[in-house]
Chain A
Amino acid sequence: MSAGSFADESGAMSKAEKLAWLHFGLLLIAAGYMGWLWWSSWPDTEVLRRNANLFGQWLNWLVIVAIASVWLIKLRGPKEPLADERDRAINGEARTNGFAALAIMVYLMAVLVHVDGWQAQVTPPWMSLAMMSMLALALLVDAGCRIVRYRWPG
């Protein structure tokens, strides 16, 4: 199915919901990639520095895909605003959940870095990758909550 038919056939789906699905998909890829890089590189801590170019290129492509998709959704859908009052309420609730998820992960990491036995392996570059994974996960929670609220509004 092309992006155009996706936009035309799904009349019940608002632009904001399509954007939520798009965010969720892209963030799933991002969180999966970073999580995989993070765990698979254990205890190699220089993976981020060594793959900086690859990481940058990959991130650039993700941003280009995101911009192009948003532009397509805006252009091809019916003439309606990107977000109405309900969408804004859902976005606000999802961001609150994303914030809570990130706060919990940051707190857990702040506690776990003190665990004896980890400290020799958990070096600053590895922690850097862990932090980026946490951020991607929090954004994934944010997008996931939006989808849940659109699909199951009760």
Chain B
Amino acid sequence: MIVPRWGFVGLLAVAGLALWLLVAGPSKLLGIDTGHAGMVLLVNAAWIALYAISRMPRGEVDQISPGEWKAWVGLGFMLVAVIYFVSNLQVFGDGGPWNNPDANRIGRNLVLLLIAWTVLSSVLKSRWQGEVEEDERDRQIVKHGREWGYGAISVHVIGLALLLGFSPANRLEWASHFMIGNLLILGLMVAYLVEYVAVVLLHWRDRR
């Protein structure tokens, strides 16, 4: 095993520190953007953990299907992305995408997270190279998960539409175009998060 069991506890502590830097830490520390530092720390912790898992001997983790691993990785990244996005939602209240440096910084960090997710998924995928990665049961579970995601984005769109359509104008001062655009993106992210939660839970229930 590349990382001993206590090493995973250490990685978890690093991930916790990274999450704190992302969500609740000061915006700058010693001239360094803490959001960016937190994202780099988190991505590295996830990379080491997933690399160690992908190198584990057969049998230790093989009772978990590739589809379930994929869902766990997606759930982890999407959860971090949603928490980070929501904790910084107030920066989207002013300006637009071209004249709001704080929003651009958050966008850059989210893109970094997306790239890391893609790379890490391919690292994990190499473990099952040449094997069947998805069977009928996995496809059914993914389909059910999508239905949950569909429901989540529908509820989000209806809620936002009712809020914008029936609120008095003086209560909609926060609703700049930039904010509404980003709330729609948040809805998409939450929908995919719900989809991953459903897929993970369905896999877990199926294994029991």
Q: Which residues of A contact B (CB under 8 A)?
A: 48-49, 52, 92-93, 95-96, 98-99, 102-103, 106-107, 109-111, 113-114, 119, 122, 124-125, 127-129, 131-132, 134-135, 138
Closest 5 CB pairs of A and B: A128-B165, A99-B150, A131-B161, A110-B184, A128-B164
- Provide the bound-state CA to CA distance between A95 and B145, in Å: 11
Query: Which chain B residue has the least Cβ–Cβ distance from A124?
Result: B164
Kindly state whether residue B55 has any CB partner on chain A within 8 Å. no
Interface of chain B, main secondary structure: helix
Check B143–A106 contact: CB distance below 8 A: no
Known: A107-B185, A110-B181. A128 touches B149 (CB 8 A): no
Query: Which chain B residue has the least Cβ–Cβ distance from A93?
Result: B143
Total chain B interface residues with beta-carbon distance under 8 A: 33
A–B complex contacts, Cβ < 8 Å, 5 sampled: A92-B146, A95-B147, A110-B188, A127-B180, A138-B154
Check B160–A131 contact: CB distance below 8 A: yes
Known: A92-B143, A114-B177, A114-B178. A127 touches B164 (CB 8 A): yes
Check A111–B181 contact: CB distance below 8 A: yes
- Provide the bound-state CA to CA distance between A111 and B97, in Å: 10
Check A134–B157 contact: CB distance below 8 A: yes
Known: A106-B187, A106-B188, A113-B181. A129 touches B154 (CB 8 A): no
- Provide the bound-state CA to CA distance between A135 and B157, in Å: 7
| Contact indicator per residue, chain B 149-178, by CB within 8 Å of chain A (1) or not (0) | 110011001101111111100001001011
| Contact indicator per residue, chain B 101-113, by CB within 8 Å of chain A (1) or not (0) | 0000000000000
- Provide the bound-state CA to CA distance between A112 and B14, in Å: 39
Query: Which chain A residue has the least Cβ–Cβ distance from B175?
Result: A124
Kindly state whether residue B54 has any CB partner on chain A within 8 Å. no
User: Which B residues lie within 8 Å of A48 (CB)?
Assistant: 165-166
Known: A96-B146, A128-B162, A128-B165. A102 touches B181 (CB 8 A): no
Kindly state whether residue B65 has any CB partner on chain A within 8 Å. no
Kindly state whether residue B19 has any CB partner on chain A within 8 Å. no
Query: Which chain B residue has the least Cβ–Cβ distance from A96?
Result: B146
User: Which B residues lie within 8 Å of A132 (CB)?
Assistant: 157-158, 161, 165
User: Which B residues lie within 8 Å of A134 (CB)?
Assistant: 157
Kindly state whether residue B182 has any CB partner on chain A within 8 Å. yes
User: Which B residues lie within 8 Å of A131 (CB)?
Assistant: 157-158, 160-161, 164
Check A103–B180 contact: CB distance below 8 A: no
